[in-house]
Structure 1
Amino acid sequence: MPKEYAIIDLFAGPGGLGEGFSRAGRADDARMKIHLSVEMDDHAVQTLRLRAFLRSFDTFPQEYYNALNGRADFPDWANLYPANWAHAEQEVRQRVLGGAGVFEELAAELDQAREVHAGNTILIGGPPCQAYSLAGRSRNKGKADYVLEKDDRHYLYREYVRILDRLNPAAFVMENVKGMLSSRVDGGGIFSRVLDDLEAAGDGYRLFPLAQPIPADGNRADARDFLIRAEDHGVPQARHRVIILGIRSDIAEGVAPDGPILGNKQPPVSVDEAIAGMWQLRSGLSRKDTTDDWKQAVRLQAAAIAEADAVDENVRAIARLIAAANDLPHLRTSAWKGDISSMSGHLQEWFSDTRLRVTLQHETRGHIPDDLGRYMFSAAFARCFGRAPKLMEFPEILQPAHKNRDSGDFADRFRTQVAKRPSTTVTSHISKDGHYFIHPDPKQCRSLTVREAARLQTFPDNYWFCGPRTKQYHQVGNAVPPYLAYQIANAVRQLLP
């Protein structure tokens, strides 16, 4: 009988890592279950708690599908299934890691998990990345009173290490942004300190890269070897993240994989394939949002692009077709379930749920008419040239009236996700506006919906994100792709006894 491992998920977000590990843990030869998830955000906690409740059943309860398929509110789960809901509330804790008294509160829980499972635990999670990300560092430079060394977010990884030290799990997986590799504090690189602290925690850990061969000399891998390109592992997104696998020293002595732990690269998955079967939708209008008004605005923008100076003739041709089209999209939201048979088999299996008869959270934003033209031009340009245009390549009629538009800081301001390639990195910025996440179809003139973004992040189609739409986007952008987490979980479990 294989050992069962308890998973502790820190800084859990909406549960991307946890979903992958949970799904891998349902296999007879894997046996891993989430014991505790810790997250601070209200809406992410609601999402986590709902998912924990659903996973407490062998199969999701029919009432869940009744609500989704009937577009109705969820029932009172605590009243309907009190024991299962109590389990979910116990599993998911809303806490601010690093806050006063939080570690002391969780310590007893960590001790119990370690003792009950005889040390067979796995710690996963990613400390918040704003202080390490390139975008975050750029924003911080613009703050007059910003002092790098006083930004506590640089040191939140230490809370992860502190819990690692207390739990002393068989293995851990820590995820963070690529910018951690180059981030510097107090005159030194932060990443080497992170690795040193992780190695020294508990009874000591050996650190392994997942996507590169392990050094034959037994030395620690180079820093950049810990970088994983999600698009190399079946994720339809160019998401490059630092992911560190640590295995406790007493177990690591027998770990000698032949080649990269995650195995060989997989063929890239395109945006088109990832959002296959999603119904065409029109965007909204910020004002006077009717279908006729939207179509009129689209035709006017298309006609202007077709007549504009310095526009490629191929782009003009697309604009002329849109200006004359009778089949412009008319829906802003679609619950109809689409056909995903064109997807690769592994993605079909991953996304599909035969009990789900609708597409969840597939509703568009509203945009101003000028942005409809910008989105249309960007998508038409990307269709013709296989890349999104830079801002300087937009015709003058579509240039935004920003004082700093010529600074170069906003060159990628209106970025289409190219249909035949993996998307760019889905980030939490998608919650602010859709300018960097434009749909590849020029006729739809819109940004991606929550569900389309969730597909690029590889959340299963039955995954429900709680909260208003802005918060749903934020959760999706902050997550680890569950399909990547699933592969990591399978690989980690095979290395453990």
Structure 2
Amino acid sequence: MNFIDLFAGAGGLSEGFIRQGFEPVAHIEMDAYAAQTLKTRAVYHYLKENGRLDVYHRYLKNLITKEELYGEVDPRVLKSVLNREISDESIGEIFQTIDESLNNQGTSSVDVLIGGPPCQAYSLVGRARDPYNKEHDPRNYLYRQYVKFLEKYKPKLFVFENVPGILTAGKGKLFDDVQRFMDDAGYNIEARILDASKFGVLQKRRRVILIGWVKGTDLFYPEFNYYDHNYLVSDILKDMPTLQPGETKDFMYSASPSEYLRKHAIRSDDDILVQHISRPHNDHDREIYRLAIGQWDKEKKRLKYTDVPEKDRTHSNITAFLDRFKVVASDLNYSHTMVAHIAKDGHYYIHPDVNQLRSLSVREAARIQSFPDNFFFEGPRTAIFTQIGNAVPPLMAECIAEKIKQMLEK
């Protein structure tokens, strides 16, 4: 079975489908760094399938360049990633490229369409600045481009992921329009808010997962198998080398993998630690981090900005966003939600170790999103954090893909 991934980001949703045996026809992503990440991941899967992961490991160790890595694979692997914005102007050319890819796979049909348009335009915070009724923001209408792919390729089923704010944006008008367009394209749809923490992800992350299927078929919205566990956030942090702000420590873990990491294929014995990179912090912020960690360790209380001594405050606003400094508590079953704001500063994702006084490293953030350690993100640190914060957790994606695969195989 195959799939097309629209607005693919770094490929978290795609990763889950590939793990369940789906073959990608194309990934379309407008951000250049995220598209490079998709290409590198496509190369990883190709090399793994052909028993040549040693080549990939040489790239991770900086022994070969990206160009040399890409030169080791069938060029069609790289062509499956389209670094394009999906618009009225580009869609014809995108369709043509996808048609060529389908032809190379010896088929003309698409089984599943996945992806979700960028959500900033109707996130709960973004909406206050730019509600749906402001016609000028084109991001509010990207679902219409998604529907054009439904009309063109008529997949049996599709998965549309987004933030909960899409359900109420514009007093519900936006989501009414989304449903109407999808209904007109010939699909029954159902949307539910699902929490990644119910799928084994050590993160509280609520997202709308809308699933649609061709009218007149016996497909439906699957029931997912949620499960409880006793794993803690410490299970994804304790094998990582200690870091000071601005430091990088790659290639060597400090301990063997936890049961959680092994069970969920986040770390395996042949993995190489990469991108364990900490951003720099000034002494002022580190003192606030010390306060936040101490308050959590002693009282299990979150630091409010009003708890910060007046001499240490850099913001005059003490009535809103009082939780701007937050520790990723290692003694809980899940972290708070990872969002793209982690690219701007790390104050909301403070590492729980008072001896380090830093925010999460790139690799630690990726693990909280359930990305495996062999997943390499391309681009500068800020761009990588954005990719991670915006992603669908691969563990959650795999659970969704598994149920869809079972339905389509009947």
Shared fold, TM over 0.5:
yes
Q: Select 2:380's aligned residue among 444, 453, 468.
A: 468
Do structure 1's residue 12 and structure 2's residue 4 form an aligned pair? Answer: no
Partner AA of 1:67 in structure 2? Y
Change (3 A) 1:256 1:122: closer
Name the SS of the counterpart of 1:148 in structure 2: coil
Which stretches of structure 1, 4 residues or longer, exceed 4 Å deviation after superposition?
109-116
Q: Select 1:380's aligned residue among 294, 312, 330.
A: 294
Match of 1:177?
163
Residue 430 of structure 1: CA displacement?
0.6
Instruction: Tell me, yes or no, if the aligned pair for 2:10 and 2:391 is still in contact at 8 Å.
Output: yes
Residue 276 of structure 1: CA displacement?
3.1
Name the SS of the counterpart of 1:131 in structure 2: helix
Partners of 1:188 and 1:232 lie apart in 2 by: 27
Do structure 1's residue 365 and structure 2's residue 279 form an aligned pair? Answer: yes
Q: Select 1:279's aligned residue among 238, 241, 256.
A: 241
Partners of 1:94 and 1:339 lie apart in 2 by: 38
Moved more, 260-269 or 148-157: 260-269
Partners of 2:292 and 2:257 lie apart in 1 by: 28
Change (3 A) 1:62 1:124: same
Match of 1:230?
196
Do structure 1's residue 350 and structure 2's residue 265 form an aligned pair? Answer: yes
Partners of 1:494 and 1:377 lie apart in 2 by: 49
Change (3 A) 1:133 1:268: farther
Q: What aligned pairs does 1:261-276 form with structure 2 within 5 A after superposition?
A: 261-267=223-229, 269-276=231-238
Residue 447 of structure 1: CA displacement?
0.4
Q: What aligned pairs does 1:33-432 form with structure 2 within 5 A after superposition?
A: 33-57=23-47, 58=49, 59-68=51-60, 70-74=61-65, 76-77=67-68, 80-81=71-72, 84-98=73-87, 100-111=88-99, 116-117=106-107, 119-140=109-130, 148-184=134-170, 188-201=172-185, 204-209=186-191, 226-251=192-217, 253=218, 255=219, 261-267=223-229, 269-284=231-246, 332-344=248-260, 347-356=262-271, 358-398=272-312, 400-404=313-317, 406=318, 408-421=319-332, 422-432=334-344
Change (3 A) 1:231 1:86: same
Partner AA of 1:377 in structure 2? L
Partners of 2:255 and 2:20 lie apart in 1 by: 26
Partner AA of 1:267 in structure 2? H
Q: What aligned pairs does 1:441-480 form with structure 2 within 5 A after superposition?
A: 441-480=353-392
CA RMSD of aligned residues (A): 2.3
> Where do 5+ consecutive residues of structure 2 fail to align?
none
Name the SS of the counterpart of 1:156 in structure 2: helix
Residue 265 of structure 1: CA displacement?
3.2
Residue 334 of structure 1: CA displacement?
4.3
Partners of 1:249 and 1:147 lie apart in 2 by: 31
Residue 270 of structure 1: CA displacement?
3.0
Change (3 A) 1:372 1:432: same
Name the SS of the counterpart of 2:316 in structure 1: coil
Instruction: Tell me, yes or no, if the aligned pair for 1:377 and 1:442 is still in contact at 8 Å.
Output: no
Residue identity over aligned pairs, in percent, reads: 36
Instruction: Tell me, yes or no, if the aligned pair for 2:80 and 2:101 is still in contact at 8 Å.
Output: no
Residue 490 of structure 1: CA displacement?
0.6
Residue 117 of structure 1: CA displacement?
3.3
Change (3 A) 1:196 1:420: farther
Change (3 A) 1:230 1:361: same
| Count of aligned positions | 404
Residue 340 of structure 1: CA displacement?
4.6
Instruction: Tell me, yes or no, if the aligned pair for 2:16 and 2:401 is still in contact at 8 Å.
Output: yes
Residue 105 of structure 1: CA displacement?
1.1
Partners of 1:272 and 1:113 lie apart in 2 by: 43
Residue 365 of structure 1: CA displacement?
1.2
> Where do 5+ consecutive residues of structure 1 fail to align?
26-31, 210-225, 285-330
Moved more, 273-282 or 55-64: 55-64
Match of 2:18?
22
Residue 113 of structure 1: CA displacement?
6.5
Partners of 2:298 and 2:52 lie apart in 1 by: 44
Partners of 1:377 and 1:43 lie apart in 2 by: 36
Instruction: Tell me, yes or no, if the aligned pair for 1:415 and 1:436 is still in contact at 8 Å.
Output: yes
Summarize deviations over 1:374-429 as a string: whole Å, max 9, x none.
Answer: 0111112122233421111223343x23232x2x2220111111112211111111
Partners of 2:135 and 2:256 lie apart in 1 by: 49
Instruction: Tell me, yes or no, if the aligned pair for 1:205 and 1:248 is still in contact at 8 Å.
Output: yes
Change (3 A) 1:20 1:80: same
Q: How does the TM-score come out when normalised to structure 1?
A: 0.76
Name the SS of the counterpart of 1:351 in structure 2: coil
Residue 269 of structure 1: CA displacement?
4.4
Partners of 1:177 and 1:469 lie apart in 2 by: 24
Q: How does the TM-score come out when normalised to structure 2?
A: 0.91
Partners of 2:123 and 2:52 lie apart in 1 by: 37
Q: Tell which structure's C-alpha radius of gyration is larger.
A: 1
